[in-house]
Amino acid sequence: MASDLQAAEEQQQPSQTIQIYPPSSDVISPFWREKYEREAKKYWDIFYKRHQDRFFKDRHYLDKEWGHHFSGSGRKEILEVGCGAGNTIFPLLATYPDIFVYACDFSPRAVNLVQMHKDFNESRVSAFVCDLTVDDLSKQISSSSLDIVTMIFVLSAVSPEKMSLALQNIRKVLKPNGYVLFRDYATGDLAQERFTLKDQKISENFYVRGDGTRAFYFSEEFLRNLFKENGFDVEELGLCCKQVENRSRELVMNRRWIQAVFRLSDDVNSSSSMEAAVKGFSGQEDIEAGVKENSLMGLVKNFEVDMAEGVAADMFGTSLSNDFEMIDVNLRGSNYKIRVLSREYQHTCKSTGLMLWESARLVASVLAGNPSIVAGKRVLELGSGCGGICSMVAAGSADLVVATDGDISILDLLTQNITSNLKPPFLSKLITKRVQWGNKDHIEAIKEISNRGFDIIIGTDVTYIPEAILPLFETAKELISSKGGITWEQEPVFILCHVLRRVDEPSILSAASKFGFRLIDKWPPGTQNNPSKSIICSWFSQNASEDDIPSTALNILYFQTE
């Protein structure tokens, strides 16, 4: 009796709902952390190769905020650290005819962009490649000769443990009482919150972007102490915030940054009180208190928000960002253009559904070469991702195709890819729906589309998370057709294609058995199998090309219900 009661309670337990990407971790692995540090220059060079001078807006706000530092009698010499494509340099040169600017960046491509700018003039600009944490600035600039150093969204790209090296390097070339004009990201900025959700944390307040470049988010205390410990006094320091509104999506997003002026301490003033030096901009006191009251400061109402961290498109939820690329998939004379996450961003992407896996290419090729597999049948794809290439090929001969994924944002991109590649009447046969495996509501919604179940269920690279295997087979069992065909070859079938990663084949077969699936065929065939009698082997021609089989590590499992 007790065992019966326990069994009844277990049956009433809600099914596990699971997503098919790996669970969150606190920080990225040491391997990637070291790689980003070691190859920081390369990632920024790739950034400028890709974006050229089109990414950042010219920073005209420097004149509004710090004009009195640049003006005055006599020629002034300025260093722009992390010059990028010159968005700080050239507005300054246009406004102040008496300044000379040294411009450095550790990306050779960025320096080349400056030198190729239409307003570049060697009599007013000296641009050179320099890594502040390694290269000695005094080899390019005379010691104690600069009036001003500008650091605009640049120190955040340096590892926190190396920031002191950069400031000590700057000290060598700055005049006594020379100034550092500073603007950079502040803790609590929207971008930092989004990085946290995507598991892109390197260390405290330090994150990696999808393209491999990095960003640190400064607190006022950290920044003040950093400059103080390296011989600078604070002239101005404050936290700024601005609300960015996207009316079409009814989103209001908070951007936060720190703006400061530091002065190189001389022997007389180096012991002056730091707290007394801190003040608000434009004569406004206690900016931090104003921010805590969640009020927008008057001084930032007309500011341009510098989207230097490259998350503008991500913030506004658009899939038309430069983070995506179009790839061509050619299948037996048919060409599909699929929009996916760019390869350079995939290494930090949490969602596996934003790329096209080799297993999907293989199954799509099989279906394109063997339309009889799905001809006249109802087809369901589980975990289709944004590509949906298998579902699109199946729509050419199937009666009905339903492409599913658990991520709503992926479904949006999937729908775009489908509508841009298929035309009626094939387009009308393909439906996209959200399905989280094990979610009863989602499963019931699919049953309403096809109350007789599905003759063919496909899953490509959906077996790499151990926790996902049972919900996967549970969902397939609920949605596969219970009506058999005339012959065993016509029975409803569940086809899995994958590279074996974290889940081995015995574990997959054990989970399948628990939900009434039995393995009928597998590919590549083992020594105990006869290829001439293999269903899957019959799908491949003897002259199958690399395009047909993109990876020798791929496996196909062919299940039917018992």
pLDDT in tens, 213-254: 899 999 999 999 999 999 999 999 988 887 666 555 555 667
Q: Which of 144, 150, 69, 59 is nearest to 102 (CA)?
A: 150
Structure-token match 């969204």, residue found: 153
Instruction: Identify any residues that bridge with 341 across adjacent strands, giving them in sequence order.
Output: 324
Q: Alpha-carbon distance 456 to 494, whole Å?
A: 6
d(CA 479, CA 70): 70
| Confidence band for 44, pLDDT divided at 50, 70 and 90 | confident
Q: State the amino acid at position 217 in one-letter form.
A: Y
Per residue in 456-496, pLDDT (tens digit) is 999 999 998 888 999 999 999 999 998 765 555 679 999 99
Res 282 pLDDT > 50: no
pLDDT value of residue 455: 96
Residue 401 bridge partners (DSSP): 379, 430
pLDDT(268) > 50: no
- Strand 174-185 and strand 251-264: pairing? antiparallel
Q: Which long-range contacts (CB under 8 A, 24 or more apart) does 265-273 make?
A: 265/231, 265/232, 265/233, 266/176, 266/177, 269/233, 270/231, 270/233, 272/233
- DSSP assignment letter at 160: G
Instruction: Please give the share of the chain, as a percent, with pLDDT higher than 70.
Output: 76
- The per-residue pLDDT for 196 is 67
What is the residue type of 473? F
Domains observed in the chain: 30-315 (3.40.50.150), 324-561 (3.40.50.150)
Predicted TM-score of the model (pTM): 0.53
| CB atoms inside a 10 Å sphere around CB 394 | 30
Rounded Cα distance, 496 and 273, in Å: 68
231-262 b/e with 16+ CB inside 10 Å = b? bbbbbbbbbbbbeeeeeeeeeebebbbbbbbb
Q: Let me know: does 241 contact 264? Beta carbons within 8 Å.
A: no
Residues 163-194: tens digit of each pLDDT:
999 999 999 999 999 999 999 999 988 878 77
Nearest alpha carbon to residue 433 among 482, 478, 391, 488:
391
CB 515 within 8 A of CB 319: no
Residue 429 reports pLDDT greater than 90: yes
Question: Is residue 546 scored above 60 in pLDDT?
Answer: no
Residue 289 has a CB neighbour count (10 Å cut-off) of 11
Residue 197's pLDDT is 60
Residue with tokens 């600078």: 232
Main-chain phi, psi angles of 52, to 5 degrees: 55, -130
| Range among 66-70, 149-153, 307-311 with highest mean pLDDT value | 149-153
Calpha distance 191→169 (Å, rounded): 29
Quick one: pLDDT band at residue 12, thresholds 50, 70, 90? very low
Q: Are 387 and 356 in contact (CB under 8 A)?
A: yes
Whole-number percent of the chain with pLDDT over 90: 50
Residues 381 and 410: beta-carbon distance below 8 Å: no
Hunting for tokens 């589309």 — which residue is that?
449
Exposure b/e, 55-80, CB count within 10 A at least 16 = b: bbebbebbbebbeebbeeeeebbbbb
β-partners of residue 185 are 257
Mean pLDDT, residues 369-398: 95
More confident position, 11 or 35: 35
Nearest to 211 by CA among 225, 203, 223, 200: 200
pLDDT at 116 over 60: yes
- Residue 393's nearest CA partner among 419, 377, 374 is 374
Structure tokens of 224?
């003040």
| pLDDT at residue number 263 | 95
Instruction: Name the DSSP class of 118.
Output: T
Element (H, E) at 366: helix 358-369
What is the rounded average pLDDT of the residues 424-450?
95
pLDDT higher than threshold 50 for residue 91? yes
**Per-residue pLDDT tens digits for 46-55:** 888 877 766 6
Amino acid identity, residue 160? P
Number of neighbouring beta carbons within 10 Å of residue 204: 12
The answer, yes or no, to whether residue 414 has pLDDT greater than 70, is yes
- 477: helix, strand or coil: helix
pLDDT at residue number 1 = 43
Question: Average pLDDT of 361-389?
Answer: 95
From the list 409, 20, 410, 25, the residue with the least C-alpha distance to 197 is: 25
Alpha-carbon torsion 26, 28, 31, 34, what sign?
A: negative
DSSP tag of 234: E
pLDDT of residue 465: 84
Instruction: Confirm if 44 and 215 have CB atoms less than 8 A apart.
Output: no
Strand, coil or helix: 233: strand
For residue range 141-169, what is the model confidence (pLDDT) as tens digits? Answer: 999 999 999 999 999 999 999 999 999 99
